[in-house]
């Protein structure tokens, strides 16, 4: 099973700041990696897939990069709605797995 680790576990930031999250895979997943955002009380929402493709409706200030085992999610300027939990997920191999999440709070 591919194990995904995320860092940091929690990030405290202010609106307007830039943030970068990290996701590391225990083995290569090529670019079969996605990022999800989960706001309190809501279902996760797909932000990025195939490491660097934005999902429908996701603004250009959100970007992703990486391949193999190391991936990053960047938001260039934090908006109030960006304060949430972010998960990475791989579908290179079954079972698909998620990282433990990074909480971004104010």
Partner 1 sequence: QVQLVESGGGLVKPGGSLRLSCVASGFTFSDFYMSWIRQAPGKGLEWVSYISDSGTTIYYADSVKGRFTLSRDNARKTLFLQMNSLRVDDSAVYYCAKCIYRGDMDWFDPWGQGTRVTVSS
CB 58 within 8 A of CB 74: no
In the complex, least distance from residue 45 CB atom to partner 1, rounded to whole angstroms: 7
In angstroms, how far is the first alpha carbon of the chain from the final one?
34
Q: Which positions from 39 through 58 interact with partner 1, judged by CB under 8 A?
A: 42-46, 49-50, 55-56
Report if residue 96 touches partner 1, rule: CB under 8 A.
yes
Nearer to partner 1, 83 or 86 (CB): 86
Q: How far apart are CA 9 and CA 93, in angstroms?
A: 25
Report if residue 92 touches partner 1, rule: CB under 8 A.
no
In the complex, least distance from residue 15 CB atom to partner 1, rounded to whole angstroms: 26
Q: How far apart are CA 1 and CA 19, in angstroms?
A: 29
Nearer to partner 1, 63 or 89 (CB): 89
Nearer to partner 1, 18 or 53 (CB): 53
CB 55 within 8 A of CB 49: yes
């Amino acid at each position: 099973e591919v194990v995904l680790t995320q860092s940091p576990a929690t990030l405290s930031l202010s609106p307007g700041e830039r943030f970068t999250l990290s996701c590391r895979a225990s083995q290569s997943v090529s670019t079969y990696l996605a990022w999800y955002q989960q706001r309190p009380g809501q279902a996760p929402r797909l932000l990025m897939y195939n490491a660097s493709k934005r999902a429908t409706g996701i603004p250009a200030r959100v970007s992703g990069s990486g391949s193999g085992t190391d991936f990053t999610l960047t938001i260039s300027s934090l908006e109030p709605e960006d304060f949430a939990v972010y998960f990475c997920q791989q579908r290179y191999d079954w079972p698909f797995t998620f990282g433990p999440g990074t909480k971004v709070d104010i």
